[in-house]
Structure 1
């Protein structure tokens, strides 16, 4: 089967401002398609926004238009802005616009998910068949559940297993499981096994196998997808080590379940075109 990496980033600080990169050692440089292919080989990926400009979104869509390696793009959207969906509509008409498969507003903490304008934007994205990625911070899992419950027509994708939304070092993985469980009960919510390096690689961190088991128990394999979070993940592990660690953690899956995690769930959630995929990268 073709493996889909449902969460990679591409950026060029020389073209677009990424303020958060300036204090991140080793990442404040260009990471382009050539770097991705060098790290991952023949890969089919979903590129997720790293900045907050329409210019970056156009750049990512342009890369998707000319490369078989980018099957979809998740762009930034300020969902609290009444014009946000108009901006998304305009992007979909531009070069590579067919690859715009999702929108992410890095909501983090606070109450944005409960605001009326954000809810209206979410509903409009659902009407357009676009997925909504959720990058959740502390105390936002409850609001995410309420939004997904109230908007069953919207496909929500929980990034990074919501590992940053719970203090697993003090509360333990039982707390993560308890807070994820309501989202796990909603059929319009899927989850990414991505971005786990910070929580699992540092001294005193939680075990990757344990995190994967929690998320498997909550969502089941048919609502999980793999994402490397490359190149952010390179702060802790090379690309191939990320893949190997997740492969080991998922070793007990059936063939059908593995197909879902390594590509099927992402293809369904994002409406990816299987015809636009390099064919020789298999797991």
Structure 2
């Protein structure tokens, strides 16, 4: 896709689309009376529908060349319904996107479900909002083991306290590409002790060569954020994973609660300005192309 003259092309590796009028899809977190368990009141983003046309309207002057949709429907009995809807949406989308689908890796019919997802050409991997101590659950472990043979990756929601377990999971499945979401989704961005624990967790997880770090969700729990406030978090991720294993994402439209789309793009470009041109290119677009196996052309 062509981008605006002067804007650097990038792939946004974390966006969410939804349609609350869809007869089969469930979005409990977007219900009128729902309060997000971590973010609190998210009413300002609760539109009836947010799709790739809406994303393009906000991002078309920023250099956006493609996106990765990550599971938005939660609790839908058949998770493949979301994949089917997204595939239909992609056919007329103004911006190309790929799909990280929703899937319970502990489901008794997980192999059949994965094969149904994989039948849709845009699917590249899955996200499973595991519950409890899922990273050491044998059923979850077995589900992760099914991904590599299907050329599917894992988008991982993991707090820093569990990154040691995630490192062990990655070691047991070295043939599976794992992407840490939202730099570990920090719950507290002001406590020095929390930051120290998070740093240690990131350093531990980065030891696994098959794990990548998605520098996304930078606005969450950071009302009034500044570039300098983000710097120590972003710099530590890049130092530990290296420019070759870092990706950029916005978590759109959730992070609209705290800034505009262009603000996040500008902030990330400012934070990586000290790296070489090739390293910047890798973090903005090349790594995303490789991890999510972007189609040629």
TM-score, scaled to structure 2: 0.85
Partner residue, 1:280: none
Tell me: CA distance 1:261–1:138, structure 2 relative to 1, closer, same or farther (3 Å): closer
Partner residue, 1:243: 265
Partner residue, 1:177: 199
Asked whether 1:57 is paired with 2:83, we answer yes
Tell me: CA distance 1:176–1:206, structure 2 relative to 1, closer, same or farther (3 Å): farther
Tell me: CA distance 1:206–1:172, structure 2 relative to 1, closer, same or farther (3 Å): farther
**Equivalent-residue separation in structure 1 for 2:275 and 2:225 (angstroms):** 29
Question: Any idea what SS the aligned residue of 2:146 has?
Answer: helix
Report which stretch shifted further, 139-148 or 115-124.
139-148
Tell me: CA distance 1:203–1:103, structure 2 relative to 1, closer, same or farther (3 Å): closer
Q: Is the Cα contact below 8 Å between 1:137 and 1:162 reproduced in 2?
A: yes
Match of 1:69 among 95, 118, 124: 95
Give 1:252 shift: 0.6
- Counting helix residues as a fraction of each chain, which structure ranks higher? 1
Match of 2:111 among 73, 76, 85: 85
Tell me: CA distance 1:268–1:121, structure 2 relative to 1, closer, same or farther (3 Å): same
Written as runs of structure 1 = structure 2, the 5 A alignment for 1:1-283 is 2-15=9-22, 16-22=25-31, 23=34, 24-29=42-47, 30-41=49-60, 43-52=65-74, 53=76, 54=79, 55-67=81-93, 69-93=95-119, 97-107=120-130, 110-137=132-159, 139-164=161-186, 167-170=188-191, 171-202=193-224, 207-275=229-297
Q: Is the Cα contact below 8 Å between 1:44 and 1:68 reproduced in 2?
A: no
Give 1:149 shift: 1.2
Deviations 1:29-70 (A, max 9, x none): 111121111011153101111113322221112223443623
**Equivalent-residue separation in structure 1 for 2:225 and 2:209 (angstroms):** 36
Stretches of structure 1 that go unaligned for 5 or more consecutive residues are: 276-283
**Equivalent-residue separation in structure 2 for 1:136 and 1:11 (angstroms):** 23
**Equivalent-residue separation in structure 1 for 2:213 and 2:163 (angstroms):** 13
Q: Is the Cα contact below 8 Å between 1:27 and 1:231 reproduced in 2?
A: yes
Give 1:249 shift: 1.0
Q: Is the Cα contact below 8 Å between 2:101 and 2:127 reproduced in 1?
A: yes
Deviations 1:239-266 (A, max 9, x none): 0111011111111111110111001111
**Equivalent-residue separation in structure 1 for 2:284 and 2:111 (angstroms):** 30
TM-score, scaled to structure 1: 0.89
Q: Which has the higher contact order (CA 8 A, sep 6+)?
A: 1
Q: Is the Cα contact below 8 Å between 2:11 and 2:66 reproduced in 1?
A: yes
